Structure 1
Amino acid sequence: MDGMSQRTRLTPEQRREQLLDLGVRLFATHSLDELSIDVVAREAGISRGLLYHYFGDKVAFREAVVRRAAADLVAQTAPPATGDAAERLLASMTAYVDFVDANYEGYVSMVRGAASDPVLRKIYDEAFGALGGRIFDAGADFVTDSPAARLLVRGWQAMSEELVLSWKTDPAGLSREELLSILAGSLLTLLEMLEQG
């Protein structure tokens, strides 16, 4: 028996969090369009009305799920506090590739949805900004914070995202280790070129 079907008394906040956790797990393997109230209610063993009670409507539920998934992405890709810049960046990029691999359908759905939905765009931009900003916030010893460096990091992030998503559907002969080496090495090389520039 799973935790959702057991008869335990949960507080409203615990039940809401439980439903949100389930939504995030389903979002990993379902697109946003496939993440319906019916699917979640069936998986949770509850009525549709209970989901509406906790989230208001399907749009609010989907937004809450995407917010949680984006927060999970940022948390799971946090670089270690120790090690040199290259090691920390490689660890963070490894976690990013792992996250995309484990949550591919949902991640692609979030990226595509951000192109047309202003709410998803805001969530996506916040996560994207947090991922790029940590390169500067961590007191990185390999980059001087400047508008040019921030532009370069943002461009590298976009390239990295596209490369990982494309690699996931067709590795084109690149091993996972080669992909990670390219991702981490390319940022360090670009920033070094900027510093020399």
Structure 2
Amino acid sequence: MAATTSGENGKRVRLSPDERRQQLIALGTEMLRDRAIEDISVGEIAAKAGISRGLLFHYFSSKQDFQLAILHRANLELLTRTAPDPTLSLFDMLRDAVQRYVDYVSAHRTPYTTLLRGPGSASPEFAALAEESRNTIVDRILAVAPIPGDDPDHPRLRLAVRGWIAFVEETTLSWLRHETISREQLIDMLVQSLPALALSPALAAALRQ
């Protein structure tokens, strides 16, 4: 079933079901920039898309399904923006990724804060999405760490990196609320804390400038 929407010239443009679904997700993601996921209005998004509120649920089974699709898109955007640059040294790669992380969450502080600490964070589906993102970051770090995957210390290092991500999240959330130190000081602390928390001489040596 195809739907129509108004184009730039005012003419009705026919959209496929997938195109319409992607349009609605994009509108929701844009709205997520300055409000919490639970504050996004389905009726407002439907109006922006030029469809009825009821028709929106032709593309999503429920409001929560729509919210989850929006968060999936936003999460993918975060992971894409913070993807490591393989042309850099390990230290510069980490610092560059942390800088882009801090800049991204600074520009999206409302959804970032509510996803991790808001009412929706108790939802199993939303929690699973956050966990998936953390695991992706752990995998990225371990993929470039100077420690073979079959090293006996690898499981301990994986657990330590997972703990570092929790430290990054909590520290960044606190900084977003109060900004008691500068952006550069925050980035320095997050970068320097990884080898400190990991307690890995090999990783610490590789992360020296």
TM tier relative to shorter chain: 0.7 to 0.9
The residue identity in structure 2 corresponding to 1:194 is: S
3-state SS, counterpart of residue 87 of structure 1: helix
The structure whose Rg is larger is 2
3-state SS, counterpart of residue 78 of structure 1: coil
TM-score (norm 1): 0.88
Structure 1, unmatched stretches of 5+, are none
Q: Distance in 2 between matches of 1:39 and 1:12?
A: 20
**Structure-1 residue corresponding to 2:207:** none
Q: Does 1:47 align with 2:55?
A: no
3-state SS, counterpart of residue 56 of structure 1: coil
Q: Distance in 1 between matches of 2:188 and 2:167?
A: 14
**Structure-2 residue corresponding to 1:184:** 191
Q: Give the 5 Å matches for 1:130-141.
A: 130-137=136-143, 139-141=144-146
Count of residues in correspondence between the two structures: 189
Q: Distance in 2 between matches of 1:175 and 1:73?
A: 22
Report if the CA contact (8 A) 2:38-2:120 is conserved: no
| Structure 1 residue 115: Cα displacement | 4.2
TM-score (norm 2): 0.83
Report sequence identity in percent.
36
After superposing on structure 2, the runs of 4+ consecutive aligned residues of structure 1 that deviate more than 4 Å are none
Q: Does 1:167 align with 2:175?
A: yes
| Structure 1 residue 94: Cα displacement | 1.0
Q: Distance in 2 between matches of 1:133 and 1:114?
A: 26
Q: CA RMSD in A?
A: 1.8
The residue identity in structure 2 corresponding to 1:178 is: Q
| Structure 1 residue 5: Cα displacement | 4.3
**Structure-1 residue corresponding to 2:63:** 58
| Structure 1 residue 73: Cα displacement | 1.4
Q: Does 1:195 align with 2:182?
A: no
Structure 2, unmatched stretches of 5+, are 203-209
The residue identity in structure 2 corresponding to 1:131 is: I
Report if the CA contact (8 A) 2:34-2:111 is conserved: yes
CA, structure 1 residues 152+144, in 2 after alignment: closer, same or farther (shift >3 Å)? farther
